[in-house]
Structure 1
Amino acid sequence: MPNQEESLLLYLNEAIATTRSKEPLFRIVTEKLRLIFPFDVILIVTVDGEGNYRRVLLRDYVSDLATAPEPHQPQRTAIAGTPIEQFVTDARVRTLPLAGLRHEYPAFSMFQFLHKLGIECLTAVPLRTGGQVIGLLALASRRSPDFGASDLALLEKIGSLVAVAVSNTLAFEEVERREREKTMQLAVNNALLSIKERTELFRTVATELNRVLPCDFFGVRVQQRQGLVKSFAEFAKQPDGTFVLLESTRWDHLPHYEAMQAEAFELFFQPAIYNGPDYDRLAEKYRLIRHIRAQHGTRSIMAAPLGTTNDQAAALVLARHKGEDFQPADLELLMSLAPQIALAMRNLFAFEQIETLRTQLEQERTYLIDEINTTGNFEDFVGQSAVMQQVQTRIAQVAPTDTTVLIGGETGTGKELAARALHNLSPRKDRALIKLNCAALPAQLIESELFGHEKGAFTGAHDRRIGKFELADGGTIFLDEIGELPLDLQAKLLRVLQEKEFERIGGRRVIHTDVRVIAATNRVLEDEVAAGRFRADLYYRLNVFPIRLPALRERPEDIEPLMRHFLERFTKQLARPVRGLRERDLRAMQQYGWPGNIRELEHVLQQAVIVSSGPFLEFAGFSAATAQAAPAPPEHAPLKTLREQERDHILAALHRTAGRVSGPHGAAVLLDINPKTLEARMKKLGIRRTVVGE
C-alpha cells in the first residue's frame, strides 16, 4: 500500500508540473483518485479572500441514475451561512452523512442534487497551500467509505497537491483571461477608431467582446427626450458564432411595446446584472422581460450605461440564454469599455449627421439643377399692367416673412414663377425651393414623396427615402395643384403646418422641420370645401395670405411685351435669325382668349420660331383660327360666367389638339392639368369628345 500511495503522489506531482490546462489536469486527478478511493461524485470549490466560493469542478459517475439536472450555480457565491464556511473554518479531512448535512442546510441546492443521485456520504478534504485554505475537495459516494487513519492522511497529502494544481491552473487562467481582455480591448478600440458605419462598427464590437464575455444578445439602446426607449444597434448570435443585425420592426407585432419599454427602461440605464432567480423576479414584474424570457429563453442580462449623447441616454445590454451567469468582474470589464463606446457613439452621431446633411445638400443641388433646366426664370414674370403691378406689390409685402401663401389662378398664369419670386425675395433664398405637383403622382406615392419612408416600410421600399418636407428644412416647399391632394393626406399636411413635425412612413422617429409653405391651385378651394373634397381647416391654414394671378385675357396690354420677351429668348436658344412680327398677327394674339394663358403663348411662340423661314414669323394658321375661336367681345357686351369661360377655354384647347385629351400632344398638356382632372371637368361641363372632334 505505501508503494501505491507513493506512486500516486509522484504521478500527481508530475501531472501538476506538466499540465496547465484545467480540464485535462482534473480528468487525470479524478481518474487516479478513483483507483484508490471509492466515490461517485467529485467536487472542487475555491474560496477567495473576500469570502466567496466558486465551483471549478463537478463530475458525477452516476449520471444515468440522475433524477434532476445539475443545480444552477453562479460563478461566485458568499460562503456565509453555507456548509462551505463550516468546512473552511474547521479545515480537516472528515466524512459526514449527507442526511445530516441536508437537515442542517436545507436550502443548499447541491445537497438536494446529491440526494437525488442517491449519495449518502460526503468526505471533505481542505485544499491548503502555504498554510492557507484556498478551497475544498469533496468526494461523495452512495455507500459509506471505510477510511482508516492512513487513508485520511493520504487524502490530506492529496489535498495539498490538488491545492497546488488548482492554484496553478487558476493563475494560468487569470493570465490568459487578462491577455484575452487586452486583445479584445485593443480590437474594440481599433474598430471604434476606424469604422464609421453603425452596423459594421457594433457588429465588430459584439464579435470581439464575445471572445471574452460570451453572449447571445448584444444591444445598444437609447432613450430619447420624450422618454421613448429605442434600438440603436442590436444583434443576435447565430449558431456559427456570427452576429446578425436585428430589425427594429421586430417588435411591431406587440401592441403595447412602447409602454413595455417605458416600464423597463430603468433596468438598462444603470450598471446592473440580473441572473437566475433575480431575472425571474424581473420577469414577473416587467412585461418586456417576461416576453424576452418566453420568446428567446433569456436567463441572464447585464447592462452598462453609456452616458448621454445628442440629448439621448444610451446603454449597452448583453444577454445570455444558457451557460454561466454574468458576474461582477464581467460588469467591471464592460464598464471599462463604456467610455470608448460612448465616445464612438458621439462620433457616430456626428458622422451620421454630416452624412445626412451631405446627402441633403446633394439632393438639394439635384433639385436646383433640375429646376434651372426645366422651369422658367424669374425674369419671365413680365408685365406692367395694373393687375400685375398689384400682384408684384403683394409678393414684395409677404416675401420677407414666413407666412404661408396660397397662390390661385388658372393653368399657365405663372404660379410657379410667383412661388420662386416669393422664395428668392425671402431670407430663405440661400436654401432650396423644393416643389411637388400633387396631381402628378398616384395618391399612394404622394405621402412617400412628402414625408419619406424607411427601408421595408412597404413593398418596393428597398432603401430609406428622404421626403420633400425633410429636404426643404430651412427652405421653402411649393405644393402645386394642392386641390388634388387626397383627403387622408390633407390631415397629415395639416399636422405639419400646425406642429412642424412628421414621421417617415414606417418610421417612429418624430422629425421636426422648419419649412415655409407656398401652395398653389387652379381650383376654387371654397367650392371644393363646400363639396367636401377639401378640408376646411387645411384651407384656412393655407389661405393666410392669398395671391391671385390674373388670366392673360385680363391683361391684354402685357401680351406684346411677353411676346417680345419669349421671342428674344427662343431666338437665342434655338440659334435662329431674328424675324419680324406682323401687326395682324399681334392683333390676333391680343384678341385670342388664351385658355392656356402664358404657357400657351410661350408654346405658340416657340413653335413659330422653329417653323418660320421667311422675313416674318409664321404662326401656322394660328391667327385666323384664333380670331374665329375667340373674337374680342364688344365694349358693352355682357360678361360670361366663370363656368362658361372655363368651358370655352377647354373647348378651345380641344380644338387645338383635335379632341385629344391625354398624351404628349393632348389638351391636358396644353392646359397643364392632370388628364383625369380634365376628363372630370369635361364631364361636369357637358363636353363630349365626339362633339369636339366633329
Structure 2
Amino acid sequence: MAYTPMSDLGQQGLFDITRILLQQPDMAALSETLTRLARQAALADSAAIVLWHADSHRASRYAVQTPDNGAQHSDKALLANGPVRHILSHPQALHCTAHIFNETWPAIAQSDIYPAFAHYALLPLAAEGQIFGGCEFFRHHDQPWSERELDRLNTLTQLVAVVAEQLQNHENQAPDYESLSQQRDDFRILVAITNAVLSRLHMDELVSEVAKEIHYYFGIDAISLVLRGSRKGKLTIYSTHYLDETDPTHDTQEADEAGTLTERVFQSKEMLLLNLHERDKLAPYERMLFETWGNQIQTLCLLPLMSGKNLLGVLKLAQCQKEVFTQANLNLLRQIAERIAIAVDNALAYQEIHRLKERLVDENLALTEQLNNVDSEFGEIIGRSEAMFRVLKQVEMVSPSNSTVLILGETGTGKELIARAIHNLSDRNSRRMVKMNCAAMPAGLLESDLFGHERGAFTGASAQRIGRFELADKSSLFLDEVGDMPLELQPKLLRVLQEQEFERLGSNKLIRTDVRLIAATNRDLKQMVADREFRSDLYYRLNVFPIHLPPLRERPEDIPLLVKAFTFKIARKLGRNIDSIPAETLRVLSAMEWPGNVRELENVIERAVLLTRGNVLQLSMAEVAVPQAPVAQPAEVARDGEDEYQLILRVLRETNGVVAGPKGAAQRLGLKRTTLLSRMKRLGIDKDTLG
C-alpha cells in the first residue's frame, strides 16, 4: 500500500503535508492539492477553498470542477451570502446533509457553483484570530464524517490556512505590472483626449476632434454626437464615418427623437450597449447606419453626456465585425464621455454667449440706427386732411391683427412713420420694431442681413451673425423699398412669410420665428410683376392689406401744420428761438408741388432755420425754387402691322443697340432701362446680334 501522509498524522506526516502545500504557487493550485490530499486520505471526494473579502463583502471560491480541468475561480456576490457568512459569526466546523444545505441556501443550491454531493463540511480558515475563509469538503456517498475524520480535516485546514495567508500576503504585496501598465496607457489616452477636446469651443470643431481621437485610440469607425435641437422633439446629429481612413465623411442632420435609441438613453441616463440587426425595428438614423456600412450587424454603444444631473446629449459609437467594447474599454470610454460632456457644456455655453453677444450688438446697431433716424422723420403723424384721415383709419383697423401690410407711396411721404404707428398700436409693441432698407443694402449682403449666417458660411464670415428675421421674433419687421429686393432672394422671403421658418446661411438648421411683416415701396409692384421683375406670388403675399400714402401735393392743407412742427422742432434742436412764421411764407409753401414730399419740406425748413437771424422764420423763395423738369418726349408707338417684338427690334436698330441714356431705346420707348431689358429677355431679343 502506497504511503499517504494523511494515513498517519505523526511528525513526519505533518511535515510532508506542509511541504507539499507550501510548494503551491497560487490559490488555484492550493485548492487542487487540497482535493488530491483529501481523496488520498479517503476524507472527501472533493474540496474547495473559499476566501472572504472584508473590504468588498464578497467571496472568492477556488475548486476543481472535474478531474480533467484546472482549478476555476468564482467571484460572485452570491457566495458572500452562503455558508462562508455563517462561519464568520459561528467560528466552528459546519457539516450538514445536501437536503439541509439546499433548504438553508436555496439560491446557491440552484446555481452551478457546487457539484452534486451527499454531505458537506466547511471548516474555518483563521489567522491571528480572524477568520478569512474556509475549506469546503464534499462526500458523494451517504456516510457522514466521524469525529476522528473531522479532527483530521481540521488539522489539514489549519495547514492550508498558513499557506493561504502567505499566498494572500504575497498577492497583496506584489505589484500587478500588467494592471499598472494598462492604467498608465489609459491615463495617457484620457489626458490626450481631454487636452484635444476641451480647447474646442465651436461645436463643429469639437465634434471633428472627438471623432478623430476616438477613432485613433479605439479604431471605432462611426462616431456621432447627438444633441437635442432647438425644436421640440428634434435631435441634431453630428456624424463622422471612417469609410475612407484618409478622408472621413462628416454630416450634420436633424432627426425625430421619438423611437430612437438616443431617446432611451435620454430617459434612463444610463449607457446602452447592444447589437443592432437589420431586422430590428430601426429609427431613420439607425437605418442610415446600415445603409452606410453595407447592412452589416453592428455593435452600438451609447454613452450619456452628463453635466451634473443634466443630460446634455449622447455619444453614439458604432462598430462592425470587430469587438472593441470590452469591459476595460467601456470603463475608459465612460471616463472619456465625462470629459466630452464638459467640452460640450463649454461649447454650448460659448455658443449661447456668442449668440447673445451678437444679438445685443445687432440690436444696439438697429436701435441706434432707428434712434438716429427718428429726428430726421417727423416725430408724430401730422395732418388733418381727408386723405390722411383715411390713412389713419386704415392704420387703426389693421394694427391689432398680425396681417402683412404693404405701404405704398412716393419717396418722402413718411412710410416708415406709418409702419411705426402700426407696430406701436399692435400687441407686439412691448418689443421694438426691426427695420431694414432693401435698397440701401448691397445685393450680396442682403440675404445675410435678413437671415443671418454661420461662421465660415462665405469668405469674410469670421463670426456668426443674427439676421433681422431672428431679431424681430415676437415683433414687427419693416422692409423698406421691398421693390428693390433681388429676384433670386424673393423665394426665400416668400418661404419665411408662409412657413415662419428659415435657415441661416451656411446652416441646415431650421429656425422658427414669429414675425409680423410690414413692407413699403415707392415702386409700382403690379407693373413689376407684369414685367417679370417681381414675383407674383410674393406680391400677392405682401399685398394682403395695402395702404396708399398720398403725396404732399394732394394734401396741401397739411403743409402749414408740418411747417410749424418742423420749425419749432429744428429750432429747439439747434438752440434757436423762432416763434413766428410769416403768413406769406405758409401760403407760398402750400402752393408748391413738393416732388420730394414731406422729406423735401423738412430739409427746406431746416435750411431756413439755419439762415434765420432773429425770431421770425426767414425763407428765401429763390432757395426753394425747383428747376422745371424737361418736357418728356412722347414715347415711340408701334407702326401699322408692328407688334411689340417688331417695335422694340426697330427702335434698337435705330439707336444702334444703345439701351440706356438720353438717346437710348428705353428713352425712345418711354420705359425704364430694366423694364426694357426684361421685355427683351422675354421676347428673345439680343441687342448684340441685331441685323
* TM-score (normalizing by structure 1): 0.54
**For 1:538-571, what per-residue CA distance to the aligned partner results, in whole angstroms no more than 9, with x for missing partners?**
2222122221111101110110110111111111
69, 72, 76: which is aligned to 1:89?
Answer: 69
Tell me: CA distance 1:397–1:339, structure 2 relative to 1, closer, same or farther (3 Å): farther
Q: C-alpha distance in 1, partners of 2:367/2:548?
A: 26
Question: Offset at 1:437?
Answer: 1.1
The corresponding residue for 2:41 is none
The corresponding residue for 2:516 is 516
Q: Confirm or deny: 8 A CA contact 1:304 1:331 kept in the other structure.
A: no
Question: Offset at 1:326?
Answer: 3.7
> Which residue identity is paired with 1:407?
I
Given the alignment of the two structures, is residue 221 of structure 1 paired with residue 226 of structure 2, yes or no? Answer: yes
331-340 vs 560-569, which deviates more? 331-340
171, 174, 177: which is aligned to 2:176?
Answer: 171
Q: Confirm or deny: 8 A CA contact 2:608 2:617 kept in the other structure.
A: yes
* Cα root mean square deviation, aligned: 5.9
The corresponding residue for 2:372 is 373
Question: Offset at 1:199?
Answer: 7.4
Q: Confirm or deny: 8 A CA contact 1:405 1:542 kept in the other structure.
A: yes
SS of structure 2 residue aligned to 1:600: helix
Question: Offset at 1:229?
Answer: 6.2
The corresponding residue for 2:148 is none
The corresponding residue for 1:456 is 456
Q: Confirm or deny: 8 A CA contact 2:190 2:335 kept in the other structure.
A: no
Q: How does 1:66-465 map to 2 (within 5 A)?
A: 89=69, 171-174=176-179, 220-222=225-227, 224=229, 230-232=236-238, 251=250, 302-306=301-305, 314-317=313-316, 325-335=324-334, 349=348, 352-353=351-352, 356-376=355-375, 379-465=379-465
Question: Offset at 1:449?
Answer: 1.2
Q: C-alpha distance in 1, partners of 2:451/2:672?
A: 38
The corresponding residue for 1:473 is 473
Q: C-alpha distance in 2, partners of 1:588/1:613?
A: 20
> Which residue identity is paired with 1:609?
V
SS of structure 2 residue aligned to 1:89: coil
Question: Offset at 1:486?
Answer: 2.1
> Which residue identity is paired with 1:422?
I
SS of structure 2 residue aligned to 1:402: coil
Q: C-alpha distance in 1, partners of 2:412/2:301?
A: 66
Q: C-alpha distance in 2, partners of 1:266/1:395?
A: 53
Question: Offset at 1:390?
Answer: 1.9
The corresponding residue for 1:548 is 548
Question: Offset at 1:179?
Answer: 8.1
Q: C-alpha distance in 2, partners of 1:223/1:467?
A: 23
Q: C-alpha distance in 2, partners of 1:415/1:573?
A: 24
Question: Offset at 1:593?
Answer: 0.8
Q: Confirm or deny: 8 A CA contact 2:262 2:314 kept in the other structure.
A: no
Question: Offset at 1:380?
Answer: 3.5
Tell me: CA distance 1:513–1:212, structure 2 relative to 1, closer, same or farther (3 Å): same
Tell me: CA distance 1:358–1:170, structure 2 relative to 1, closer, same or farther (3 Å): same
> Which residue identity is paired with 1:171?
D
Greater C-alpha Rg: 2
**For 1:421-461, what per-residue CA distance to the aligned partner results, in whole angstroms no more than 9, with x for missing partners?**
11122222221311111112232221111111122222222
Tell me: CA distance 1:359–1:441, structure 2 relative to 1, closer, same or farther (3 Å): closer
Tell me: CA distance 1:308–1:526, structure 2 relative to 1, closer, same or farther (3 Å): farther
* TM-score (normalizing by structure 2): 0.54
Q: Alignment identity in percent?
A: 39
Q: C-alpha distance in 2, partners of 1:207/1:473?
A: 38
208-217 vs 540-549, which deviates more? 208-217
The corresponding residue for 1:648 is none
The corresponding residue for 1:482 is 482
Q: C-alpha distance in 1, partners of 2:465/2:343?
A: 26
Q: Confirm or deny: 8 A CA contact 2:362 2:466 kept in the other structure.
A: no
How many equivalent residue pairs? 476
Tell me: CA distance 1:177–1:217, structure 2 relative to 1, closer, same or farther (3 Å): farther
Tell me: CA distance 1:405–1:345, structure 2 relative to 1, closer, same or farther (3 Å): same
> Which residue identity is paired with 1:556?
P
Q: Confirm or deny: 8 A CA contact 1:268 1:303 kept in the other structure.
A: no
Q: Confirm or deny: 8 A CA contact 1:184 1:211 kept in the other structure.
A: no
Tell me: CA distance 1:465–1:582, structure 2 relative to 1, closer, same or farther (3 Å): same
Q: C-alpha distance in 1, partners of 2:447/2:413?
A: 27
Question: Offset at 1:334?
Answer: 3.2
Q: C-alpha distance in 2, partners of 1:458/1:560?
A: 52
SS of structure 2 residue aligned to 1:334: helix
Tell me: CA distance 1:229–1:587, structure 2 relative to 1, closer, same or farther (3 Å): same
Q: C-alpha distance in 2, partners of 1:427/1:193?
A: 45
Question: Offset at 1:527?
Answer: 2.1
SS of structure 1 residue aligned to 2:379: helix
**For 1:387-429, what per-residue CA distance to the aligned partner results, in whole angstroms no more than 9, with x for missing partners?**
2122222212222222211111111000001111111222222
Tell me: CA distance 1:477–1:601, structure 2 relative to 1, closer, same or farther (3 Å): same
Tell me: CA distance 1:599–1:267, structure 2 relative to 1, closer, same or farther (3 Å): closer
SS of structure 2 residue aligned to 1:520: strand
Tell me: CA distance 1:491–1:474, structure 2 relative to 1, closer, same or farther (3 Å): same
Q: C-alpha distance in 1, partners of 2:672/2:543?
A: 32
